[in-house]
Structure 1
């Protein structure tokens, strides 16, 4: 191994890979030598082809993360998994007083939180049998301090995801399954297009790029993070300082 910060030949499943942070994560991991299984509601075939054309290894699958059966089928079909990155998320910009908000709340929890439970539950037994693995759940600043502009369902789902990181880490640690999280602030992705963010509240005075979230995620999946377990890493430009 040339460096502890590489992922050569490791099989990594990225759920939510089609755009934004997930797409950047796939490209970064591909560049570090990971063998990728990329999943989203619609299979990100173009992204997989791009990574293969650049000399990497990647396949694309469609997966409805709200379906336990679909998530379990994805994990089973991926084979021996070294790392799982869960990036799938939706962030509707409605208000909790709007008609139909309760149904939207259920949808947000299904994608942002319940799908992560399905994925981790499916992946952990195989990781344990092979002597360990890594799981990274991508949360949000919103789950730590209420966010900057997010609605209540998104905040609740990401706060739950951060708690899930710690619950999974306690159970995975003894089996060398290191579970961690990432908590970005506002990131320049399609999800944020047209949304007004008060940059004065961010000490760095800008939103992050998707790549600035992808690289710390890769770090957590590498040997360089071999003693990090149960941490939700703040990558937010200084908005939240614990």
Structure 2
């Protein structure tokens, strides 16, 4: 069925950056579809790679990548060479609510959030997009957020504005890549049961679906966007939020 739907990724090299949370099920689905995996996180995800290789027979390689570091991103892009698809799920939810805007602590929090949530993904996507353009094929998937659309009910200004910028970045990249056979898209998850929300209280009564998303439910959409099946999608930011954006 996967082959008939154009979703199979036989022998494609798929890089997944940010393997914690949503990234791990993304890796599992891509492995099931036949992809060769390049997994990167702040600490190289050895255990995750070994488990996926054992369960799904997938070829995997791992890298330590600090997406908030210009040098680390440049080194990673040079090390992995050409890839067929890039999925970037790396992000942080800064604790900014108790910080006074303009204070040293707020500035430090903002810089870290900016580097990890926006500047790093932008740098990584632009470098890999140029490589994909050179071979006239590729997929890039960036993780936005419902907060980027709504202004952020659970998050502060730094996270919400950064994710809104990711949505704009998706469209900016797509406009420049589409004519070269490269599809750039994103997705905007609602509240998802990941470690990022461990300290947050979510009123699920405000979500039409009545519950948090499970990471696998977000990962399925990301894997689709990274697959050949999304061949005529350019610049889309797909809502996966249990209906929350309409409530």
- How far apart are 1:78 and its partner, in Å? 1.2
Change (3 A) 1:96 1:144: farther
- How far apart are 1:93 and its partner, in Å? 2.9
1:123 aligns with 2:125: no
Aligned with residue 203 of structure 1, among 204, 208, 226: 208
Q: 3-state SS of the aligned residue for 1:20?
A: coil
Aligned with residue 106 of structure 1, among 102, 111, 121: 111
- How far apart are 1:79 and its partner, in Å? 2.1
User: Hey, what's the Cα distance between the residues in 2 that align with 1:2 and 1:225?
Assistant: 13
* Superposition TM-score, scaled by structure 2 size: 0.94
- How far apart are 1:147 and its partner, in Å? 2.4
Runs of 4 or more, structure 1, over 3 Å off, are 96-99
Moved more, 206-215 or 126-135: 126-135
Partner of 1:25 in structure 2? 26
Partner of 1:191 in structure 2? 196
Partner of 1:214 in structure 2? 219
Matched-pair contact (CA < 8 Å) for 1:147–1:185: no
User: Hey, what's the Cα distance between the residues in 2 that align with 1:171 and 1:191?
Assistant: 32
Matched-pair contact (CA < 8 Å) for 1:148–1:197: no
User: Hey, what's the Cα distance between the residues in 1 that align with 2:129 and 2:25?
Assistant: 25
Partner of 1:47 in structure 2? 48
Q: How does 1:1-242 map to 2 (within 5 A)?
A: 2-3=3-4, 4-17=6-19, 19-54=20-55, 55-95=57-97, 97-98=99-100, 100-241=105-246
Q: Deviation string for 1:206-242 (max 9, x for gaps)?
A: 0000000000001111122111100000000000149
Q: 3-state SS of the aligned residue for 1:163?
A: helix
* Superposition TM-score, scaled by structure 1 size: 0.95
Matched-pair contact (CA < 8 Å) for 1:85–1:137: yes
User: Hey, what's the Cα distance between the residues in 2 that align with 1:2 and 1:97?
Assistant: 51
* Structure 1 unaligned regions, length at least 5: none
User: Hey, what's the Cα distance between the residues in 2 that align with 1:25 and 1:146?
Assistant: 26
Matched-pair contact (CA < 8 Å) for 1:16–1:87: yes
* Structure 2 unaligned regions, length at least 5: none
